[in-house]
Amino acid sequence: MTAASSRRRLVTCLGLGAAIALTAEAQPVEAPTEVPVEPYHGWVTIGAGSATRPGLLMVSASYSFGRRSLGQLGASLAADWGREDFSEVHLGVGRRTFTRPLLAAAFVGPSLARVTTVDDPDSPTTATTRYVPGVFGNVQVIAVALPEIGLGLDAFGHVNTVRSLAGVRLVLYLGNDRW
């Protein structure tokens, strides 16, 4: 095969390729569509309140997070000054709705409680401590005055086989402003 014959074949191939490309119908290219991303919501509540038994004061903290459905990680500590201590940690799943200025959310999930009961108030060494699994639930209604700060109520319940509790706490809300 000679150099001239190779050039003729190359020119013939290029010509045929150009003819095919020019006669082909152009297909429009669609731009990629953007998928809307739901903003991430997260907030912390810190609160104090009262539980079902008189004199039992409770403090709590929780972190709620998520995009569409929410998760919650929280802890509570309650004491009635000498007779009983109650603490618990919980994980929850829930939903929220936000219509400025009100945020409402509800969560439910498993928890682990630590219940310490003093059998004889005069002798604190006679205390009994139990770790008990249970179910925790709460409903938060919060007035969000500023984009990241609010004040609200948290109604809660903790059900277990040793010491079930329910009550209401006043909570301080610290959240993000990406609603």
Question: Structural domain boundaries of the chain?
Answer: 41-175
By C-alpha distance, which of 137, 134, 133 is closest to 155?
137
Res 19 pLDDT > 60: no
Average pLDDT across the chain, whole number: 78
Res 146 pLDDT > 80: yes
More confident site: 179 or 6: 6
pTM for this model (two decimals): 0.70
CB 45 within 8 A of CB 76: no
Which fold, 41-175? Porin (2.40.160)
**Segment 33-44 mean pLDDT:** 65
Q: Where does the chain show beta strands of DSSP type E? A: 41-51, 57-66, 70-79, 84-99, 102-120, 123-146, 149-159, 165-175
Residues 6+ apart with CB under 8 A from 53: 80, 165
**Segment 79-105 mean pLDDT:** 83
